[in-house]
Amino acid sequence: MLSSSLEYPISFVSAGFEPLRVHLLRQNYSSIFVLVDNHTQQHCLPILEAALQGFSLIIIAIEAGEQHKNLQTCQYIWSAFMQGQADRKSVLLNLGGGVIGDMGGFCASTFKRGMDFIQLPTTLLAQVDASVGGKLGIDFEQVKNGIGLFGSPQAVFMFTDFLGTLPLMEIKSGFAEMLKHGLIDSLAHWQSLLLVSDWTSVQWQPLIEQSLQVKKQIVLQDPFEKNIRKSLNFGHTIGHVLESLSWQTTQPLLHGHAIAIGLIIECYWSTKLLELPTATLVAVRDYILSVYGKYDLIQLDLQAVGNLILQDKKNENQIIKATLLAKIGQAKINIAIPSTLIKEGLDYYINLK
């Protein structure tokens, strides 16, 4: 049986990482590995090393970026485990964004049939989304997250100060997942996010906690995405496809920026197929455009969108099904999307002023 998702503690830590130190001492691991990419090695590792003085750490460093979330990098990581004589009493600390968390978790879970790992998410996206929920994996033959499994870390420790060195583009990428959580959760949650305007002075912890609460509640009810977890796909049916198409252009979209466009288009679909009020669509659209600006969709191969959506592993029997909103705080899963609405939704975005 696959392990279900949320039996592990998720805690916020401050400088000093006391709960992590206590955890490591208690577990008495035979060795401690730390997976970083070149950015987290520079910005986050010194902080972790200072907090874990007295522990002997074996650092595994890889290149940053989604293009390295592949089998070749896993081989490198597994080899580093071998060279460092990792055994099933070792632990891997994943210090990074979703790429490090997903791939490090995958490598640890499969090494000698599974060694412990701990998530230390350093991006907003990883703190509100990727580090929680048990999905681990890598990209394979053009398929994002094509190989992977559900597996649980021993613990997740969030240190919001890491966000201080994260580029604004990356902050906004994670923020789109928070907007999604707000929209599917409640009007009050959504409205609390509208107050974010000065990106340099945001108090992240309460907002992250609120966002995580949504993800945790949903994952707890449906860890393996059989039903209600699909509501977390709001904005992703078309957003994912726009993201992949943008990689073929000189203006690739970060995941959350594509999802922000997806949220607008899928709110538009919601006004057509459910009873989402047009005023809500307008409010969502205006706020998202104020944060992300407008992206030039015309440069993408938009003819391909319909077929690419159908290839998504979440669709079955050649019918496109998406999660839509009946109102803010009420997501509905498995809504069939007529193919005409795909072009209509894209046109709606393209024609926005």
Ligand X SMILES: NC(=O)c1ccc[n+]([C@@H]2O[C@H](COP(=O)([O-])OP(=O)(O)OC[C@H]3O[C@@H](n4cnc5c(N)ncnc54)[C@H](O)[C@@H]3O)[C@@H](O)[C@H]2O)c1
Which residues form the catalytic set?
113, 135, 177, 215, 225, 229, 233, 236, 240, 255
Closest contact distance (angstroms) between CB of 308 and ligand X is 17
Adjacent-strand bridge partners of 161? none
Query: Residue 348 and residue 18: Cα distance in Å, rounded?
Result: 50
Query: Residue 41 and residue 164: Cα distance in Å, rounded?
Result: 15
Nearer to ligand X, 14 or 340 (CB): 14
- Binding segment for ligand X among 36-44, 108-116, 284-292, 320-328 (CB under 6 A)? 36-44
- Binding segment for ligand X among 32-40, 48-56, 185-193, 223-231 (CB under 6 A)? 32-40
Nearer to ligand X, 122 or 271 (CB): 122
Do residues 106 and 74 touch, judged by C-beta distance below 8 A? yes
Q: Which of residues 129-168 bind ligand X (CB under 6 A)?
A: 129-130, 133, 135, 145, 162, 165-166
Do residues 176 and 257 touch, judged by C-beta distance below 8 A? yes
Query: x/- string (CB under 6 A) for ligand X, residues 92-121?
Result: ----xxxxx-x-------------------
**Concatenated DSSP letters of 228-270:** GGGGGGTTHHHHHHHHHHHTTSSSPPPHHHHHHHHHHHHHHHH
Applying CB under 6 A, which of residues 39, 229, 230, 240 lies at the interface with ligand X?
A: 39
Q: 70: exposed, middle or buried (C-beta count within 10 Å: 0-12, 13-18, 19+)?
A: middle
- Binding segment for ligand X among 35-43, 202-210, 272-280, 332-340 (CB under 6 A)? 35-43
Three-class secondary structure assignment of 18-82: HHHHHHHHHHCCCCEEEEEEHHHHHHCHHHHHHHCCCCCEEEEEECCCHHHCCHHHHHHHHHHHH
| Cα–chain center distance at 158 | 14
Nearer to ligand X, 171 or 273 (CB): 171
Which token pair is 11? 């805690």
Query: Considering the rule CB under 6 A, would residue 3 count as an interface residue with ligand X?
Result: no
Closest contact distance (angstroms) between CB of 169 and ligand X is 9
Do residues 63 and 36 touch, judged by C-beta distance below 8 A? no
Query: x/- string (CB under 6 A) for ligand X, residues 56-85?
Result: --------xxx--x----------------
Nearer to ligand X, 12 or 327 (CB): 12
**Concatenated DSSP letters of 184-204:** HH-HHHHHHHHT---TTS--H
Query: Considering the rule CB under 6 A, would residue 223 count as an interface residue with ligand X?
Result: no
Query: Residue 40 and residue 233: Cα distance in Å, rounded?
Result: 28
Nearer to ligand X, 96 or 235 (CB): 96
Interacting residues toward ligand X by CB under 6 A: 37, 39-40, 43-44, 64-66, 69, 96-100, 102, 122-123, 125-126, 129-130, 133, 135, 145, 162, 165-166, 170, 173, 255
